[in-house]
Amino acid sequence: MTASNYHTVGIIGGLGWLGSALTNSALLSEELAEVKFIVSSRRATATEKHPRVTFTQDNQALVDASDLIIMSVRPQDWASITLNLRDKPLMSFMAGISSHALSKKHRTKYVIRALPNGACSNQQSYTPWYCTSQDNPTLLDFIAKLLHCIGHQDQYDLEDHIEVLTAISGAGPAYPALLAQALQQSAIKLGIPQDKAQRAVNATLLGSGAAFKDLSNPPANTVFVFEEYQGTTAAGLAKMKQCGFFEAVESGVEAAYDKAIHFDSPTKE
């Protein structure tokens, strides 16, 4: 099968937030201009939203008509989905459900685990992914193209790295928001009115995005620029480090990773 032979992608749960973000982004991609989508949901929907998107409530019909099946339901809903894929490739967006469990339940040796984050709706996700089998390079090429339409993507050789990144990129804006909350609290404590403190930190984080646009630029370089300047920011950075900033972040990431590997699912193996 060549990349162009992945004609039809079926998304189980495709009317949900992530499935919709993927379909909407894929429809904008020239690289995927030949690809059709089938999306499923348990609820009925009134109209087809695009000539290349069809809707079904029948997951077996979706599997039968698709070249690649994407599982984009919540883990608690996955428990009741019993489909035999007969070695058709399956990509799962579910955190904490192992490729072994997916492969065994859905009878396919081609399982891809991918973990987009909240930025996928504006094509700014970072999506790590892992595939159980390397013997189908055209499949790997197609997965990279599909995930590229929602932002940056990287293939990983170890499934455990998906669990690690669940705790980092999977958190999306959560950790920057915690930093913003801490900065806002500090501003208020030093006398800045609450509403202005909020505007100040939100605007600062928004404006900081440009510093990370070049993915090959180490964050340490940006920190170093401010440390070398030896101004007020250098004093702030030094004190934050001295007070255990790195240790606090590392402990938080480890706690999230631990939760990812001991995910509370009755079907996890």
Ligand X SMILES: NC(=O)c1ccc[n+]([C@@H]2O[C@H](COP(=O)([O-])OP(=O)(O)OC[C@H]3O[C@@H](n4cnc5c(N)ncnc54)[C@H](OP(=O)(O)O)[C@@H]3O)[C@@H](O)[C@H]2O)c1
Backbone angles phi, psi at 12, to 5 degrees: -75, 120
Pick from 1, 7, 33, 42: which binds ligand X (CB under 6 A)?
Answer: 42
Give CA–CA dist 126/147, Å, rounded: 9
Q: Name the minimum Å distance from CB 70 to ligand X.
A: 10
Q: How far is the CB of 42 from ligand X (least distance, A)?
A: 3
- For 214, the token pair is 């070049």
Ligand-binding site membership of 122 (annotated): no
Q: Is 212 among the residues that bind ligand X (CB under 6 A)?
A: no
Task: Please list, in sequence order, all residues whose beta carbon lies within 8 angstroms of the beta carbon of residue 209, skipping any fewer than 6 positions away.
Answer: none
Angle between helix 245-261 and helix 232-242 axes, rounded to 10 deg: 50
What mask, x for binding ligand X by CB under 6 A, covers residues 137 to 176?
---------------------------------x------
Nearer Cβ to ligand X, position 81 or 144? 81
In the window 7-26, what residues touch ligand X (CB under 6 A)? 12-13, 15-19
- For CA atoms 98, 104, 109, 110, give the dihedral sign: negative
Q: Are 82 and 94 contacting, i.e. CB atoms less than 8 angstroms apart?
A: no
Q: Which is nearer to ligand X, 94 or 197 (CB)?
A: 94
Binding segment toward ligand X, per CB under 6 A, in 66-74, 133-141, 154-162, 254-262? 66-74
Among residues 126 and 142, whose Cβ is nearest to ligand X?
A: 126
> Quick one: CA torsion of 120, 125, 131, 136, rounded to 10 degrees?
80
- Per rule CB under 6 A, count of chain residues that contact ligand X: 26
Query: Kind and range of the H or E element at 40?
Result: strand 36-40
CB of 121 to ligand X, least distance (A): 9
The encoded tokens of residue 238 equal: 């030094």
Tokens of 205: 């984080």
DSSP bridge pairs for 153: 127
Q: How far apart are CA 139 and CA 3, in angstroms?
A: 7
Per-residue contact flags (x/-) with ligand X for residues 85 to 124, judged by CB under 6 A: --------xxx-------------------xxxx------
Q: 17: annotated binding-site residue?
A: yes
Residue nearest to ligand X according to CB distances in the complex: 16
* Distance of alpha carbon 105 from alpha carbon 115, whole angstroms: 20
Residue 117 assigned as binding residue: no
75 binds ligand X (CB under 6 A): yes
Residues of the shown chain interacting with ligand X in the complex, contacts defined by CB under 6 A? 12-13, 15-19, 40-43, 59, 72-75, 77, 81, 93-95, 115-118, 170
Binding residues: 12-18, 59
